[in-house]
């Protein structure tokens, strides 16, 4: 079986197994006019399995979600090729993956009423992503370890499940049942809204109560909702761009990749606005430090492809992990040489400026102003949460954390 890889409906390449029993696969361009990834430049020769794997593995779910979906599809969790064949009709970015012999069916939507949407949320622990065993129409994929649904939403706010490769437009993330991370959807909603209020470019979010639990609804930044029909926009995360499989999304001591310095080099080499995007990365690093997001790894930063190069995608998955003591608080990406927030001071911030190609004398007052803006705005967003009815006690801990870390950032400007 050969898999066709399409971009905007046009086949750009194929995925092929080494043989029918092999779980290794290789990618080859059939129209090498535009690159799927910075790690897969256009070429007339095939890429090796090791070169092909990072981009395509990142299109699939991870961890327990992957194992559960694979079991429902009667596939081995390690059979990435089989999972791509089954789930690849709606992926992150602009590509779709089909069995070459399959004919495409017309796009459609299975619209959900309120009861149907509640049932979908309740069933996510059993049916991650909303994928149903035996339903060939619903074949979609989304990376990550969290259980979530991939949906279409129309201009009237109605939700539905995309069928036969129709582009999804929204991601629905219910609060998990795990009591170790209470009010996670509210936490993320607060952090995302705070980032927007502070002038950062962020994917739009909304909090809904579905099946008696808070659910975060995220508008996909890799879809152009102004087009009719919706058009896919191509994107890749920094693991894909650096040629790293998802299990290398965290930076370990002594590793040069992934890192903020490696991100900056990609932007300088391929970016359409490298200066603005390096500053955007700096803002993301400061903001994640302030909210206590230790899980901002290489898959939580993405690039949008444009004619002539790439640019930073809006920020997403902004959530405070520091308010949950049980969660590992080692930084996913080092700030300077610091692998823990408590070790970040004047020297580490100056090193980050160097990594991102910014002047330390400019970056110091800039980060202090951002810290003051985040601190001052946090109370406003907290008041909005109370007034709009989505407040949770964890937000008090989060605002207290922001206050303490903002003060540390301001002190670091003076070298303390």
40 three-state secondary structure: strand
Question: Would you state the pLDDT for residue 102?
Answer: 60
**Cβ atoms of residues 17 and 1 within 8 Å:** yes
295 is catalytic: yes
Question: Would you state the pLDDT for residue 228?
Answer: 83
Q: Using CA atoms, how far apart are residues 410 and 167, in angstroms rounded to an integer?
A: 44
Q: Using CA atoms, how far apart are residues 382 and 374, in angstroms rounded to an integer?
A: 12
Question: Would you state the pLDDT for residue 199?
Answer: 98
**Cβ atoms of residues 291 and 402 within 8 Å:** yes
**Cβ atoms of residues 231 and 225 within 8 Å:** no
Extract the tokens encoding 241.
Answer: 């761009």
Catalytic residue among 222, 295, 351, 355: 295
367 three-state secondary structure: helix
Cis peptide before 117 (omega within 30 of 0): no
Where are the extended beta strands (E) located within 211-264? 213-219, 223-224, 231-232, 235-237
CA 156 to chain centroid, in Å, comes to: 26
Question: Would you state the pLDDT for residue 131?
Answer: 66
Q: Using CA atoms, how far apart are residues 148 and 175, in angstroms rounded to an integer?
A: 9
- What is each CA distance from 141 to 31, 87, 119, 187, in whole angstroms? 24, 5, 20, 25
Domains 108-219 and 233-413 share a fold: no
Domain ranges, ordered by start, for the chain: 2-99, 108-219, 233-413
345 three-state secondary structure: coil
CB count within 10 Å of CB 193 equals 22
H or E stretch covering 228: none
Question: Would you state the pLDDT for residue 101?
Answer: 64
CB count within 10 Å of CB 250 equals 16
Cis peptide before 229 (omega within 30 of 0): yes
Question: Would you state the pLDDT for residue 106?
Answer: 87
**Cβ atoms of residues 69 and 258 within 8 Å:** no
Where are the extended beta strands (E) located within 220-281? 223-224, 231-232, 235-237
Q: How many CA atoms lie within 13 A of 140 on its CB side?
A: 31
Buried/exposed 138-162: b ≥16 CB within 10 Å, e otherwise:
bbbbbbbebbbbbbbbeeeeebbbb
Question: Would you state the pLDDT for residue 160?
Answer: 96
Q: Which CATH class is domain 108-219?
A: alpha beta
Q: Using CA atoms, how far apart are residues 237 and 222, in angstroms rounded to an integer?
A: 12
CB count within 10 Å of CB 114 equals 10
In tens digits, the chain (416 residues) has pLDDT values of 799 999 988 999 999 997 777 889 999 999 889 999 999 999 999 999 999 999 999 999 999 999 999 998 899 999 999 999 999 999 999 999 998 766 567 899 999 999 999 999 999 988 887 766 556 556 667 788 788 999 999 999 999 999 989 999 999 999 987 667 999 999 999 999 999 999 999 999 999 999 999 999 999 999 999 988 899 999 999 999 999 999 999 999 889 999 999 999 999 999 999 999 999 999 999 999 999 999 999 999 999 999 999 999 999 999 999 999 999 999 999 999 999 999 999 999 999 999 999 999 999 999 999 999 999 999 999 999 999 999 999 999 999 999 999 999 999 998 76
Question: Would you state the pLDDT for residue 97?
Answer: 96
Q: Which CATH class is domain 233-413?
A: mainly alpha
Q: What is the maximal distance between C-alpha atoms in the chain?
A: 65
């Amino acid at each position: 079986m050969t898999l066709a890889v399409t971009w905007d409906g046009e086949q750009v390449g194929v995925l092929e197994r080494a043989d029918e029993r092999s779980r290794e696969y290789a990618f080859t361009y059939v129209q090498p006019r535009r690159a799927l990834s910075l790690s897969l430049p256009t070429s007339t020769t095939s890429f090796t399995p090791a070169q092909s794997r990072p981009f395509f593995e990142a299109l699939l779910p991870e961890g327990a979600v992957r194992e559960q979906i694979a079991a429902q599809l009667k596939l081995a969790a390690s059979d990435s090729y089989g999972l791509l064949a089954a789930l690849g009709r709606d992926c992150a970015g602009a590509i779709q993956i089909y069995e070459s012999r399959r004919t495409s069916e017309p796009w459609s939507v299975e619209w959900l009423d309120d009861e149907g949407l509640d049932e979908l949320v309740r069933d996510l622990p059993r049916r991650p992503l909303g994928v149903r065993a035996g339903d060939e129409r619903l074949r979609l994929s989304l990376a990550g370890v969290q259980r979530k649904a991939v949906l279409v939403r129309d201009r009237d706010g109605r939700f539905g499940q995309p069928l036969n490769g129709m582009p999804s437009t929204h991601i629905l993330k219910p609060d998990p049942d795990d009591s170790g991370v209470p009010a996670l959807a509210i936490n993320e909603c607060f952090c995302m809204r705070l980032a927007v209020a502070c002038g950062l470019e962020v994917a739009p979010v909304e909090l809904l109560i579905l099946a008696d639990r808070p659910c975060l609804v995220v508008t996909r930044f890799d879809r152009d909702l102004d087009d009719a029909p919706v058009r896919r926009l191509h994107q890749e995360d920094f693991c894909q761009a650096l040629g790293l499989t998802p299990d290398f999304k965290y930076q370990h001591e002594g590793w040069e990749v992934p890192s903020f310095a490696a991100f900056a080099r990609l932007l300088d080499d391929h970016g359409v606005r490298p200066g603005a995007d390096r500053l955007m990365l700096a803002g993301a690093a400061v903001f994640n430090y302030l909210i206590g997001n230790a899980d901002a790894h290489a898959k939580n930063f993405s690039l949008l492809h444009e004619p002539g190069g790439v640019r930073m995608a809006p920020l997403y998955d902004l959530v405070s992990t520091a308010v949950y003591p049980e969660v590992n608080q080692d930084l996913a990406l080092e700030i300077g040489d610091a692998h823990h927030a408590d070790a970040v001071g004047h020297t580490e911030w100056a090193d980050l400026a160097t990594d991102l190609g910014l002047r330390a004398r400019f970056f110091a007052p800039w980060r202090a102003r951002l810290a003051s803006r985040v601190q001052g705005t946090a109370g406003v967003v907290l008041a909005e949460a109370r007034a709009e009815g989505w407040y949770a006690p964890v937000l008090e801990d989060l605002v207290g954390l922001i206050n303490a870390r903002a003060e540390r950032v301001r002190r670091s400007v003076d070298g303390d």
